[in-house]
Amino acid sequence: MTGTITHSDGERVYAFGHPFYNLGPTQFGVLACLAANPHLGQGELARRTLVSPQAIGELMVSLEERGLVERTANPGRGRSRLVRLTDAGRLALRRITPAIHQINAPESLGLSASEAAELNRLLHLVRRSVARD
């Protein structure tokens, strides 16, 4: 698998040799969250990935059109929708994950192991703070 990093509007965009696998960081994070938490409600998925409800709705349309996720009505929950990875979504995630880990390795980002550990600690602190609000 070949991986390249390009920049578009300041956001990293990952391309892996086939247009099907062009996933940005938010899309990858949503797929990874669904892999770890099958059948989440769309609202809960938005909360867990720190994406606004409006943005998660637009993202779901895009991922659904690409065949990576499937949304179904949540029985007994009004207009709530459950989201799950499709087989194609699981395959894309399985194929892309090693390259994402390589791209995000501390040395690829110009960080030493201790700097990466400190950054990770600080980001977890920020996330806990945001989650309390």
Spatial distance between the Cα atoms of 120 and 125, rounded to a whole number of angstroms: 9
Asked if residue 19 has pLDDT above 60, the reply is no
Tokens of 124: 């977890």
Total number of domains in the chain: 1
Q: What is the mean pLDDT of residues 24-44?
A: 91
- Per cent of the chain over pLDDT 90 is 47
Spatial distance between the Cα atoms of 42 and 54, rounded to a whole number of angstroms: 10
**CB distance 15 to 3 below 8 Å:** yes
Residue with tokens 């991986």: 3
pLDDT of residue 95: 87
Expressed as residue numbers, the domain containing 53 is: 4-132
Higher pLDDT, 87 or 9: 87
Task: Residue 97: give its domain's CATH number.
Answer: 1.10.10.10
Global pTM exceeds 0.75: no
Asked if residue 6 has pLDDT above 60, the reply is no
pLDDT tens column, 111-124:
999 999 999 999 99
Tokens of 58: 């637009």
> Tell me, what DSSP letter sits at residue 23?
B
User: Phi and psi at residue 72, in whole multiples of 5°?
Assistant: -135, 160
